Amino acid sequence: MDERRAELQLRHIAEAVGTARALSVPLWLRGGWAVDFFLGGVTRDHGDIDWFAWADDAGVLAEGLLRRGYRPVPGPPPELQLDFAKDGLESSFTLLARDAAGRVVVAGGPWAGSPWPAGMLDGGSGRIGATRCRVVSARAQIEIKRMTPVWDPARPRRSKDAVDILRLEAALRAVGGA
């Protein structure tokens, strides 16, 4: 495991959380880092840092990150996701909205209006060391990791996702939540 890269990514996570808190913008860690924060320790190398944020907060969040030295990078449609880089590391902020029924949905792009898993934002906080942040619920993480190749056939199953699912299921069983 690349410990220096992990430490830098953890600093970026703490910085994004602090920036968002100062702006009153809620963020949820998702993907592999959300798994690690749920489990309480770094389990593997991570290529990037993935977040969820409300589409309505995208402008103020982007301005705050730019002031902290983050630079925008090309990626998916900006109404779907904002991508930034700093210190050679990427952070992606997938944007959320609510539909007429109040469900959390994809904010924009080709899947606009598609619902995310129910209870996804009810994961509470996770922690690694002194850094705490909101995380996507473990059950939603499992569903997203299982369903992504079904939802988007261009994204094949990945071995790291299978391992993350096993870790999350074991953790849920250990606390009686499986």
List the domain boundaries for the chain.
3-173
Token look-up 């922690």 returns 127
Q: Please give the Cα distance from 65 to 71 (Å, whole number).
A: 8
**Mean pLDDT lowest for which of 81-85, 100-104, 157-161?**
157-161
Q: Which class is domain 3-173?
A: alpha beta
- Model confidence pLDDT, tens digit, residues 46-60: 999 999 999 999 999
Q: Please give the Cα distance from 54 to 108 (Å, whole number).
A: 11
Token look-up 């790291």 returns 160
Backbone torsions φ then ψ of 54, nearest 5 degrees: -75, 140
Q: Is 7 helix (H, G, I), strand (E, B) or coil?
A: helix
Positions of E strands within the chain: 27-30, 49-54, 71-72, 81-86, 89-98, 104-106, 125-128, 131-134
Q: Please give the Cα distance from 44 to 132 (Å, whole number).
A: 19
- Model confidence pLDDT, tens digit, residues 59-84: 999 999 999 999 999 988 899 999 99
Backbone torsions φ then ψ of 134, nearest 5 degrees: -65, 145
